[in-house]
Chains A and B, each alone.
Chain A
Amino acid sequence: MTLAFTSGFIIMSIELLGGRVLAPYFGSSIYVWGSIITVFMIALSFGYLIGGRLSLLAPRLSKYGLFFVAAAITAVPTILFGDALMDWVFLRFEDPRYGSLLAAMLLFFVPTAILGMIAPYSVRLLVEETHHSGRVAGGLYFISTLGSALGTLLTSFYFVLLFEINEILVTMAIALVCCFLIALIVDREVEAKV
């Protein structure tokens, strides 16, 4: 549950910072936000689909943790090479609408899709009996969307005032790695009990 909250928090925090990351190259017009939201929605939808499929293959908590570490790893190029990449796109696409769409795709699609896999996989891990599945899913949506709300609020109200964008992104990546470690430790404990 805590992990689902964190993933919700981080998804929206990165989405908000995405606007900031793209602005120096593509402006801050409405289509830049359109690009970002489109990319996040597509990424999440594919993440849900793939996460659901993966939950069929011997699901366990340690594998679940891998989503977090994978999201953190795929976010690293975004932080390190974001500018070079946007420069590349900027030179090739005259129209800032398609430029921002492509840049958002290259920068944010993979980590966001991986974060999207967490939700359906969480449902699988937490559901013990079929007739509880609706309640479990409801509870998970509740907690992860609440995380998203808080991620949006804290990032836009406070984080941008206190930190640089990359500082926030690096912290998010570290938080994801921590989530992975938590999943690993809890997995060991459960294993030991059994």
Chain B
Amino acid sequence: MTSQHMKLFFAIILLLVSTGSYSDTVVHREKSLYRNIVVTEKAGKRCLVFSVKRQQRNQTCVDTNDPKHIVFAYVRMIFAGLLVNPQPTRGLMIGMGGGTISSVLTSIYPNLTMDLVEVDPAVVKVATDYFGFRNTHQIDVHVTDGRVFARRALRRNEQYDLIILDAFTGEYIPEHLMTVEFLDNIKSLLTPGGIVIANTFTGSSLYHHESATYAAVFGPLFNLKMPGTGNRVIVASTLDLPDSETLMANAMMLKPDFERYKIDLRKYVPNMNRDPDWKTDKRVLTDQYAPANLLRNR
């Protein structure tokens, strides 16, 4: 190695070290078919990051000292959807992240069985290796596209009383999972009284289009936003939405179950809003018209 080469070598090492020190400790790095997956750790918090140079988004985080601590606000907001149907027995979740949501739900409800659909096999692997995800007898993991699974489930006449849609990485939206036709499919999979809980986007013109699309399929919705978060969770039912007294009663009923996760669902009741706060005249998204990713930048 000449001195020129040596200099270059050290320059590269230095560069690697310095960029590394910017972020949290990287525990694991994996390139999947769909994205780069990074597992980071900092101050007792382990996070699953779908890495993008410009902006890194944590998909899911767990507290390594206290696995029962639910780090993310939006996860707690998804649980608030249970206020509409507090005793689910058959669940479907599209998009698994670190697997936290399904693990919590199946431990709270011993009679609940869930189909968990994730398109990216690497996500399932990382959830298992780094986020303590366990494939119990209550959980069936299916590595396939959510739309394909839903279509096949309908053919098999499957019925769910709880469907959770959380398939959005924040960087790229699967546009075929945000159309009237897909949501019609989802609605047909619901039992009478079954509910759908969807983690969605805010802060772009897509918010209006997406809300209008859900409203077109399900009619009245609960629109849940919490101060200090950029998340919005939609809760819809095949039956009429319950009033706030019922929601509060359900929150009381679920209180002991969620106490060990330090969640009090009562605080979400006042924020479960029925009135549309979106522009209701916006064009509904369909399989024919689904430029969700473009609308997000407007």
Contacts and interface: CB of A to CB of B under 8 A. Distances in A.
B294 A23 contact: no
B109 interface: no
Contacts of A20: 175, 287, 290
Interface string B149-173: 0010001000000000000000000
B294 A28 contact: no
Interface of B: 33-34, 119, 144-148, 151, 155, 174-176, 179, 181-182, 286-291, 294-295
Interface string A157-170: 10011011111000
Contacts of A96: 144-145, 148
Contacts of B151: 25, 90
B288 A26 contact: no
A27 B288 contact: no
A30 B176 CA distance: 14
Interface residues of A, number: 20
Contacts of A167: 288
A166 B144 contact: no
A27 B294 contact: no
Given A23-B147, A161-B294, A28 B176 contact: yes
A28 B182 CA distance: 13
B258 to A, nearest CB: 34
A164 B288 contact: yes
A110 B288 CA distance: 22
Give 6 closest A-B pairs by Cβ, nearest first: A27-B145, A164-B288, A23-B176, A161-B291, A160-B291, A24-B287
Given A90-B151, A161-B294, 11 more contacts: A20-B290, A23-B147, A24-B179, A25-B147, A25-B148, A27-B145, A28-B175, A29-B33, A29-B145, A30-B34, A157-B294
Interface string A91-117: 100001000000000000000000000
18 contacts: A20-B175, A20-B287, A20-B290, A24-B179, A26-B145, A26-B148, A27-B119, A27-B144, A27-B145, A27-B176, A28-B174, A30-B33, A91-B155, A96-B145, A96-B148, A161-B291, A165-B289, A167-B288
Interface in A22-63: 23-30
A164 B179 CA distance: 13
Contacts of B145: 26-29, 96
Contacts of B34: 29-30
B183 to A, nearest CB: 12
A161 B148 CA distance: 24
A183 B144 CA distance: 48
Interface in A115-167: 157, 160-161, 163-167
Nearest to B287: A24
Contacts of B119: 27, 29
A20 B290 CA distance: 9
A24 B181 contact: yes
Given A27-B176, A29-B33, A160 B144 contact: no
A26 to B, nearest CB: 6
Which of A26, A27, A30, A166 has the most chain B CB atoms closer than 10 A to its own CB?
Answer: A27
A28 B33 CA distance: 12
A89 to B, nearest CB: 12
Contacts of A29: 33-34, 119, 145
Contact of B182 (A24, A157, A160, A163): A24
